[in-house]
């Protein structure tokens, strides 16, 4: 990574240090470099966690219900 990207990466933390509260993640100024040089936080498409898990579990439940419906009809 270049110096500019390294400096941005230092200001973006992935987790709390010494029990401090994590500030909300906001996008920093992006570079005009080609190809773009991004930090891991800037390159992330979305957040992981409970909402993603709920969507995956909900989809699995719907697939199981559909399977039982098809088996019952056939």
Tens of pLDDT, residues 60-74: 999 999 999 999 998
Cα dihedral 55→61→65→66 (10° resolution): 40
**Of 21 and 59, more confident:** 59
pLDDT tens for residues 35-59?
667 777 777 766 667 788 899 999 9
**What is the reported pLDDT for 1?**
47
Q: Mean pLDDT across the stretch 19-30?
A: 63
The secondary element (H helix, E strand) that includes residue 68 is helix 50-73
Euclidean distance between CA atoms 35 and 33, whole angstroms = 6
Whole-model pTM over 0.95 = no
Among 10, 70, 67, smallest CA distance to 41 is for 10
**What is the reported pLDDT for 63?**
98
Indicate the SS3 state at residue 39.
coil
């Amino acid at each position: 990574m270049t110096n500019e990207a390294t400096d941005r990466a230092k200001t973006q933390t992935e987790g709390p240090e010494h029990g401090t509260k994590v500030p909300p993640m906001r996008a920093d100024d992006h570079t005009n470099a080609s190809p773009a040089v991004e930090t891991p936080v800037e390159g992330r498409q979305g957040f992981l966690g409970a909402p993603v898990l709920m969507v995956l579990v909900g989809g699995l439940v719907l697939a199981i219900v559909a399977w039982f419906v098809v088996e019952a009809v056939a």
